[in-house]
């Protein structure tokens, strides 16, 4: 099965979290496909992210609504006005360290925010396809050397991971309780650590690398021996759009899906940083600054057999490719080049693989 851009032509798609890193890229893809996009989110969490949102032409190309998913009343009003056909739920408090600092906010956003979204989906007859984007961290992590499958127990350790596990369970309950008639197909997608141009978050390894490179400083790496399923942002976004398309056309594709890289691209953070330094050049180096801090998983990998067998999805870019495109984006941004053109070129390049 292939993602067909013509499927989205003229479709009404509502994206929550459209001002975030993933949200901006998926809105860019959807507008290139000719979709009628409405975004619902708080303003971009970073000044640079807000600038990308404007300069990439995303803000001008969609109906952008600034709102909080914790505000169920306002959210319901937007759904009633838009009458979307497809809903992609990406809005979240996505940072592990922040979840330790603000656990209540994290649960309010990631759990009750999901409840609010699903209530809107339940009450909006026009919606035929709903996808809740969660995370690979939803699983009870036993530090296994093999990938977690969709039927493994859910039980994230930290408040972020646990809140996304709860978001999964909320979605499962709503699906069984209110959508058994097949009126709206519902899936979740559990994706790993994504990298790419336009991510300016704190305490994420690639944005930290880019900031150090811009400043001509040595990169400080917090957990160099932790293995993570790193992938370019376009990998899961393609999968999200493919899932939404497939289940819209045939509800039997409604399911829970892992979305991650192949085994050869599951690398340690230190290995990732080595590749980044080679791609960037200019003698860039990194150092290990491991310190005792909040718990984070050391080993995490996904088994993506289900989405591969059900939908024919597979990763397109290896980790070297993903970092090369990320470095290209970051250097273009630093030079003040046309970022809209860069994003469009990278999307087209990815779709042609």
**Phi, psi (degrees; rounded to nearest 5) at 8:** -85, -10
Mean pLDDT (whole number) for 116-136: 97
33 DSSP assignment: T
| Cβ–Cβ < 8 Å for 183, 250 | no
CA pair distance 286, 140, nearest whole angstrom: 31
Separation in Å, CA 288 to CA 87, 207, 210: 41, 16, 17
Range of the domain at 219: 5-351
Outline where the chain has alpha helix (H).
5-8, 21-32, 47-55, 58-61, 72-82, 96-101, 103-107, 113-123, 159-178, 205-215, 234-249, 269-280, 305-311, 319-334, 339-351
Quick check: 295 pLDDT over 60? no
CA pair distance 16, 72, nearest whole angstrom: 13
Whole-angstrom distance between the N-terminal and C-terminal Cα of the chain?
A: 15
Quick check: 293 pLDDT over 70? no
CATH of the domain at 62: 3.40.50.720
| Cβ–Cβ < 8 Å for 67, 41 | yes
Residue 311 has what pLDDT? 98
Mean pLDDT (whole number) for 274-297: 84
Q: What percent of the chain has pLDDT over 90?
A: 88
163 vs 294, higher pLDDT: 163
Count of structural domains, the chain: 1
Provide DSSP, 289-305.
Answer: -----S---SB--B--H
CA pair distance 67, 65, nearest whole angstrom: 6
Estimate to the nearest angstrom the gap between the alpha carbon of 315 and the chain centroid: 15
The predicted-structure confidence for 229-252, as pLDDT tens digits, reads as follows 899 999 999 999 999 999 999 999
Residues found in the chain: 353
| Cβ–Cβ < 8 Å for 242, 351 | no
Residue 222 has what pLDDT? 87
Q: At a CB cut-off of 8 Å and minimum separation 6, what does 115 contact? A: 170
Mean pLDDT (whole number) for 184-205: 94
CA pair distance 42, 40, nearest whole angstrom: 7
Nearest of 186, 174, 309, 184 to residue 254 by alpha carbon? 186
Place of tokens 């809903």: 87
Residue 95 has what pLDDT? 87
- Cα Rg of the chain, angstroms: 19
CA pair distance 142, 89, nearest whole angstrom: 28
Quick check: 299 pLDDT over 90? no
Mean pLDDT (whole number) for 246-273: 95
Band of the pLDDT at 297, cuts 50, 70, 90? Answer: low
Estimate to the nearest angstrom the gap between the alpha carbon of 142 and the chain centroid: 24
Mean pLDDT (whole number) for 10-20: 98
227-228 and 267-268 strand pairing: antiparallel
Write out the two tokens for 69. 């998913």
The predicted-structure confidence for 139-183, as pLDDT tens digits, reads as follows 998 888 889 999 999 999 999 999 999 999 999 999 999 999 999
Q: At a CB cut-off of 8 Å and minimum separation 6, what does 292 contact? A: none
Band of the pLDDT at 298, cuts 50, 70, 90? Answer: low
């Amino acid at each position: 099965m292939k993602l067909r851009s013509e499927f989205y032509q003229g479709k009404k798609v509502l994206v929550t979290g459209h001002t975030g890193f993933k949200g901006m890229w998926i809105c860019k893809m959807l507008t290139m496909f000719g979709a009628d996009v409405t975004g619902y989110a708080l303003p971009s969490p970073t000044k640079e992210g807000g600038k990308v949102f404007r300069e990439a032409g995303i803000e001008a190309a969609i109906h952008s609504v600034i709102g909080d998913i914790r505000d169920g009343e306002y959210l319901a009003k937007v759904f009633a006005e838009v009458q979307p056909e497809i809903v992609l739920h990406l809005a979240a408090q996505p940072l592990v360290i922040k979840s330790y600092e603000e656990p209540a906010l994290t649960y309010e956003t990631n759990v009750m925010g999901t409840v609010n979204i699903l209530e809107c989906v339940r009450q909006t007859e026009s919606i035929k396809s709903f996808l809740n984007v969660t995370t690979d961290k939803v699983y009870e992590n036993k530090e296994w050397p093999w990938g977690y499958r969709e039927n493994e127990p859910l039980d994230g350790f930290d408040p972020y991971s646990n809140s996304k596990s709860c978001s999964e369970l909320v979605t499962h309950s709503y699906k069984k309780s209110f959508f058994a008639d097949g009126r709206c197909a519902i899936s979740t997608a559990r994706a790993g650590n994504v990298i790419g141009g336009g991510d300016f978050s704190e305490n994420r390894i690639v944005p930290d690398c880019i900031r150090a490179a811009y400043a001509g400083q040595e990169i400080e790496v917090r957990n160099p021996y932790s293995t993570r399923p790193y992938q370019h942002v376009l990998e899961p976004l393609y999968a999200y759009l493919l899932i939404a398309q497939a289940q819209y056309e045939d509800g039997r594709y409604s399911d829970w899906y892992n979305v991650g890289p192949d085994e050869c691209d599951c690398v340690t953070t230190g290995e990732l940083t080595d590749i980044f330094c080679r791609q960037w050049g200019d003698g860039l180096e990194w150092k290990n600054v491991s310190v005792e801090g909040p718990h984070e998983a050391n080993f995490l990998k996904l088994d993506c057999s289900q989405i591969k067998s059900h939908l024919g999805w597979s990763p397109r870019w290896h980790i070297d490719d993903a970092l090369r495109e990320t470095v290209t984006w970051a250097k273009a941004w630093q030079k003040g080049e046309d970022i809209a053109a860069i994003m469009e070129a990278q999307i087209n390049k990815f779709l042609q693989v």
